[in-house]
Structure 1
Amino acid sequence: MAYFILKTFVLGPLLRVLFRPWVRGMENIPATGPVILASNHLSFSDSIFLPLQSRRPVVFLAKSEYFTGKGIKGALTRWFFKSTGQLPIDRSGGKASEASLNTGLKVLSQGQVLGIYPEGTRSPDGRLYRGRTGIARMVLESKVPVIPVAMIDTEKVQPIGKRLPRIRRIGIVVGTPLDFSRFDGMEGDRIVLRAVTDEIMYELRLLSGQEYVDAYASSVKEKRARLAR
């Protein structure tokens, strides 16, 4: 109910007026049945614009920090994510990664739309970074369609380090479903997982026009943080 109200009467109309989002390919998302939306990640606002423009509710596996913030901003962020059905995940790796996988598979088993950021974290500089293979394993285990989605210029709306959004026009490009049925039963093969992930990232690069960097965004962020200290 909260999702419907926010999308139809509150945030949806407001964001359409302010940011005039243009959308291409939204018809590629099937009207029913489970599907994975694999998106690039430029801004916190990606998790707002994509669900509000999608005809179907989108469940994102959001980092747990969004649910534990302090102060007014933390409370508002927590309320928004809970109200729109987003699920917190622990991104520390190991057993946490397995739990995230199981959470995603549960969402898909319920016939819902699952949104995933293969890069694992938002881009530190607007470029597209190497994908984590967790998405490949989820695709192969669930055997559901995976659709690449490119968010355009959302980093200009809310640059890293800025609290207040800037009014900029943004875009969303939804690609066609990718077929990985040739890899059925091979979800335990690391080479296959990397191949599937790289194909998804290649499609994202084509849709978004971003420069590709063959490194993990999280590693680049950690290196920059060390240099800044």
Structure 2
Amino acid sequence: MDDKKVTRIAAVGDIHVKETDKGKWVSYFKEVSANADVLIICGDLTDTGDEDEAAILAAELHACTIPVVCVLGNHDYEKGRHKLIRQAIQSTNVHVLDGEAIVIGGVGFAGVKGFGGGFDRYLLTMFGEDANKAYVQEAVDEALHLERALNKLDSEFQVNKKIAVLHYSPIKATVVGEPPEIYPFLGSSRLAEPLIRNNVTAAFHGHAHAGTLEGSISNSDIKVFNVAKQVLSKAGYQCPYYLLEV
């Protein structure tokens, strides 16, 4: 493995593909392919969680000539058809991660959807009603899935460059711009802990459409990017994807 090799990672989230989007994304994926080595899509691949929307996206992704790494988002779970959506999109070139890891061009990618629960000292704790405990347990489970995927990059692949692909945010800084009242539903600090322990290079997420493009995990050098398409457009990206060289 050549650690000196530079890999260009394009990242976007919340593309919300609709059944009426046939042909809409071809030029986008062609442009990304011309400028990057890998494309990350950080969840909300579909608009209403329908497998017909996923089929449209799968067809549009034929225009993408570079490897694609995705996670699902909350919209993809809306109708309980997330397994069908994953099956429709997954291919030899498109990798939909859910607690799994993959290495492309010497860079390791670990992906989970993530979940909510809040940040820092306002992190929701496992106390009270069973419904509240179940909500917190979902966030704990997602963090554990992320931990295992990142551990696999160390134990099996031994890569030094590690990228986390999420839908929900691991830090508060990149959801700032949204109403503070909904911060607990936009991410969880529990997702940051595996990133720190495994010394990731960077993390990407979406979900917070009115959030902030860039932040970092406290007391670390780990950058976090909110690459929701809406955030990138607001930041002035004509063709909305963020490009990071690692």
Pairwise TM-score range, normalised by the shorter structure: 0.3 to 0.5
TM-score for both structures, normalised by structure 2: 0.35
The structure, 1 or 2, with the larger RCO (C-alpha pairs under 8 Å, 6+ apart) is 1
TM-score for both structures, normalised by structure 1: 0.37
Q: Which has the higher helix share?
A: 1
